Structure 1
């Protein structure tokens, strides 16, 4: 009897220990994310020591002239840190968190471990919008006063609504119909983009389209950070509050319906939000993948599939991953920089193969 009475206390202690370990891990990841941002602003074609970068940022943000930094730093270094690298690092952290969260939500919503933000054809829609703006829509852009980012955003939104409408035809929306609708949308929009490229005679425009489709954070500026930061922050806060619903979705459609979840309503809401955020990100940075596919599986291997732990871990590790992917894109070539989409693919594909063959997906099993 004494042994039986002690079991609940043993279980309670184990839960407390697990929570304590998770909090330590989360704290460590938060510190690592901040250190990554500080180190990343000093790396590039022109290397600037981290202590100088910190003093420049402190001066610009709080007007703290630490160790009389203004007399030690050249105006060129000041401009590099404040006008170029810091907005870029902030954008990389925000985009990494946003794509990783969207991937986590989509994998739970469609119950498919291979889902990512682009599974619904969002990237293809954005590519079509950008291609139209660059190759054919220059006249329309001048007429309406709208740029490539706007048309990419409109293309991403159009693709998401196309998939939602297509998957809802003929009855209740299902995971299989959504995935198949995404495949149809991707094929259709990619074909239309290729058609625009084929009939265009603008060699410089074709080069711009190619670079757009490989993704880049080079366009990061203070004046275009507000919308991505605000949108991704709201998205992360919302999905942090949806952990219980996301955990329920992992149990399967029948179990979720039995527990009172309106699957059609919840999936439509989650897909619209992820489409909006992905379209917003693509409109600023172009297209690059594997972040929303790989990062959620990496975090599941660390903390399990409970979204109360998975979601905050995904936000931090997604930010850290893209910060350093952008650093590699900046320093790997001496004559210029690689598009970040190439870096994420080269790093993400082998790592995902390792997860696939050496470990299980651990999708909803913890």
Structure 2
């Protein structure tokens, strides 16, 4: 076996070891997250309850559980929240790494194309104006408004960037800035004329992001959207790598990047819109996690994608833990936690010598 083969084999072993460690870290962090909160539950009892539930009673025993309330707290309150944190972390990191390749910009995140502004406009409209007598729309409330706003904004950006030729990465970014600013102006206008102090407070809290609304009823949609989105992009590494090389290189390879940009935009908008609808605005996850993953796994999306997804899920689980435990009997908006952690990390990456996006 030659030197090149030995290096490749060693690299593969290290990659799979890192992936295994990340999966183990997520499992341990999830069980720890089940144990802490306003009601502290011993780690071992949390693990017993989780094993008993997941294996349908084949593993784990409930004999050592001290209080019956522990079962309800873990299964009905904390488990849906942990699943939400894991899925939203995966989804934000996924959309971040895809958008950074699509627009060839290291500062890209899931919200760069105006999705955040569109979702904010939809949520602000739902909270301060409402959907009137339409019972079907009123039933979904803020989630419906945020998702609708995010999707309409994405379509508007896609149409605007396609005017006068192919949708290039520069045109996508510029269109996102314009549409985002327009949506932001309309949101401010609604807030200015709204005579609803409680509604304005709700809009503010929603814009900071929160997992407090997590429930079993909401998890199926989130699971379907995030898991299918992740499964699709895990097999798109060749196209994503080509996007980093630019349009000229893609033409020589016989790949029409314009078509893939539009497809990826629609899919990331769908994933982001769903997450924003359920958890509000959570910043920095989609921006910083892909950069950390590149430092660990390299720039090749074949390895980068899975590592980014797992890092995103792990990061969000710990961000949720901190949001619930930093201040006693107070739950901080998770968007504040992710920004406080993400900002110093991003500053470090800016000043760090030798960091090169895409390589």
Q: Indicate the residue corresponding to 2:249 in structure 1.
A: 255
Q: Check whether the contact 1:133–1:148 (CA below 8 A) recurs between aligned residues.
A: yes
Q: What RMSD, in angstroms, separates the aligned Cα atoms of the two structures? A: 1.5
Divergent runs of 4+, >6 A: none
Could you say if the C-alpha distance between residues 291 and 68 of structure 1 is closer, same or farther in structure 2, counting changes exceeding 3 Å? closer
Alignment partner, residue 351 of structure 1: 345
Runs of 5+ consecutive residues of structure 1 not aligned to the other structure: 1-7
Distance 2:278 2:323 in 1: 17
Aligned to 2:165, the other structure's residue is in SS state coil
Q: Provide closer, same or farther for how the CA distance between residues 343 and 239 of structure 1 changes in structure 2, counting only shifts above 3 A.
A: same
- Count of residue pairs brought into register by the alignment: 358
User: Do residues 219 (structure 1) and 210 (structure 2) align?
Assistant: no
Distance 2:279 2:353 in 1: 32
**Aligned pair partner of 2:264 in 263, 266, 270:** 270
Is the Cα–Cα contact under 8 Å of residues 52 and 60 in structure 2 kept in the other structure? no
* Aligned partners of 1:113 and 1:361 also within 8 Å: no
Q: Are positions 1:288 and 2:285 aligned together?
A: no
Matches within 5 A, 1:140-179: 140=133, 142=135, 144=137, 145-179=139-173
| 1:55 and 1:65 in contact (8 A); partners too | no
Deviation at 1:52, TM superposition (A): 0.7
Aligned to 1:200: 194
Quote the Cα distance in structure 2 between the aligned partners of 1:183 and 1:357.
26
- Partner of residue 42, structure 2: 49
Residues 14/142 of structure 1: CA separation in 2 closer, same or farther (3 Å cut) = same
The yes-or-no answer on 1:325 pairing with 2:319 is yes
Q: Deviations along 1:269-321, whole A, 9 cap, x unmatched?
A: 00110000000000110111100100000010011100011001001100000
> Residue 67 of structure 1: CA displacement?
7.2
Aligned partner of residue 62 in structure 2, secondary structure: helix
What TM-score, normalized by structure 1, do the two folds share? 0.94
Mapping of residues 1-366 of structure 1, within 5 Å: 9-64=2-57, 69-70=62-63, 72-140=65-133, 142=135, 144=137, 145-365=139-359
Structure 2: stretches of 5+ with no match in the other structure = none
| Residues in 1 aligned to 2:26 and 2:73: alpha-carbon distance in whole angstroms | 21
**1:211, distance to aligned residue in structure 2 (A):** 0.6
Which has the higher mean CA deviation after the structures are superposed, 54-63 or 325-334? 54-63
